[in-house]
Structures are given as C-alpha cells and as structure tokens.
Chain A
C-alpha cells in the first residue's frame, strides 16, 4: 500500500512537471490518469519492491557513477576496435555466475552488462548469464567478477 501511494505521488509529480498548465481541468485529468495507471499496475502486479525499487535509495547514485565510468572506458575500447583497420575482434561467448539472490539484482547485473559496450547478456539460465563479448579482453574483464560484486553490494544491503 505504501508503495502504491509513493508511486501515485511520483506519477502525479511527473504529470505536473510535463504538463506545465495548472488549470482545474488538467489537474483533474492528471488525478484520473494516475488512478487508471495505478489500477493497471496493481492488476499487473508490478507495484512492489521489485517493480518499484525505491528502497535502493541514494546508493543508486554511487553505483550509477561507477557504472558511468565503466561505460566510458568500455566505449573508448570498443571505438578503438571498430576503427582499427584490421577489425581486431575476437567474439566469444562466456557464462558468468550471478551471485545476486533476488531477481531484481540479476536484472540490474544483466542490464549493467548490456549497457557496457563490448559485452551483451544474451541469455539467463538459473544463476548463469550467457554473455557475448566483442573480444577476449572484455570477457576476461567480466570474469574477474568485479561488476558482480558491486551489484551484489548495491542490492543486498537494503
């Protein structure tokens, strides 16, 4: 229930932000559409800790800044590979183990893998994620498990 109220507040804030017209008709329509969205979301069973992970809180900023730096580094590496005249790639598929217990953690880990260019998670099979890497180096980097540890730290100490 507290989740539903929090979702409603966030949605209405978004409505006010994007609408920019504060007349009774539009404010009322906003309330109406927030209620409809809440109804659909409740019916889809996504208004809970997993669908709306507000408990992760400010540590998300810490993780995102680390992830942003990783993304920049990986982008530069992939750019070098693409622009090199010989196209020095060695595509490979590896399976890495995700140590996160919750599905939310696994989703965050898999999405982080995909967001970092050079590695794309292509399949999830129990605790294992199949990852396609552009070169062996990217695969080796992933296998050190650094990102996995950080995601586990980020998610599990809620």
Chain B
C-alpha cells in the first residue's frame, strides 16, 4: 500500500482534529466556571471541526461530497458563535457572574 501525500495530509488533519476535540473535552471538564468553559467549547467548535472536515474533504472522491462538507463546515462556523453568544447572554441575564480577577498578580486595570 503506497501512501500519497494527500493521504498523509488528510490523516494528519483527522488526527489533529481528534486531538483538539479531546483537548476541548478535557477543558470542558477541567475549567472552573461556565464562562471559562466557553473557551474549551470554542476549541472543539473551531479547529477540531475544521480539521476533521478538511481531512474528510481530502479523502472524498467526488466534488459533491466536498461541497457538502464545506457547507457543514460553513454552517457550523456561522452558528457556533451565535449559540455561544446567546448562551453567554442568557447566563449573564440569569444569576451567573463570571469569575474575575482570579490571577495571582491582583486586579488589572480592566474596566
């Protein structure tokens, strides 16, 4: 079995996507509060999704499949910030307050 460059590239993309997905999952469990967990979910919503979709695109044999993957990717990229923002705003209007100034250097000059 010969390995073409495209195969190698697509496998690297798939594995990288899987890696970032797991990192996002770990972050989702590990991070201390809701607002920091958004960032972990952000990883899986952006780089993980993009890498896996690109990896699949490189493996597809018809352009129609690639276009469908591109549509899925574009759709996820347009909706994920919208739902994240809706969730953040709902949480803020609820009783949740984000953890602030947790660093050891003391409060910075943020307003």
A110 on the B face (CB < 8 A): yes
Interface residues of B in 84-107 (CB under 8 A from A): 84-85, 88-89, 92, 98-105
B12 on the A face (CB < 8 A): no
Q: For the complex, would chain A's binding face be called helix, strand, loop or mixed by DSSP majority?
A: mixed
Q: Report chain A residues within 8 Å CB of B32.
A: 87
Interface residues of A in 95-153 (CB under 8 A from B): 95, 110-111, 114-123, 132, 134-136, 139
Q: For the complex, would chain B's binding face be called helix, strand, loop or mixed by DSSP majority?
A: helix
What total of chain B residues lie within 8 Å of the partner, measured CB to CB? 43
A95 CB to closest chain B CB, in angstroms? Answer: 5
Q: Report chain A residues within 8 Å CB of B84.
A: 114, 120
How many A-B pairs with Cβ below 8 Å?
115
- Contact across chains for A71 and B81 when beta carbons are under 8 A apart: no
Contact of B110 among A93, A118, A119 (CB under 8 A): A93
B36 on the A face (CB < 8 A): yes
- Contact across chains for A72 and B47 when beta carbons are under 8 A apart: yes
A158 on the B face (CB < 8 A): no
A53 on the B face (CB < 8 A): no
A119-B39 Cα distance, complex, nearest whole Å: 7
Q: Which residue of A lies closest to B43 (CB)?
A: A117
Q: Mark B35-62, 1 if CB is under 8 A from A, else 0.
A: 1101110110011001000000000000
14 A-B contacts, Cβ less than 8 Å apart? A20-B64, A78-B27, A82-B30, A90-B104, A90-B105, A91-B35, A92-B100, A92-B101, A111-B81, A114-B80, A120-B85, A121-B88, A123-B92, A134-B36
Give B residues with C-beta under 8 Å from A: 20, 23-24, 26-27, 30-33, 35-36, 38-40, 42-43, 46-47, 50, 64, 67-68, 77-78, 80-82, 84-85, 88-89, 92, 98-105, 108, 110-111
The 9 A-B pairs at the shortest CB distance, nearest first, are namely A90-B103, A114-B81, A117-B42, A82-B27, A122-B88, A111-B81, A75-B47, A120-B38, A94-B110
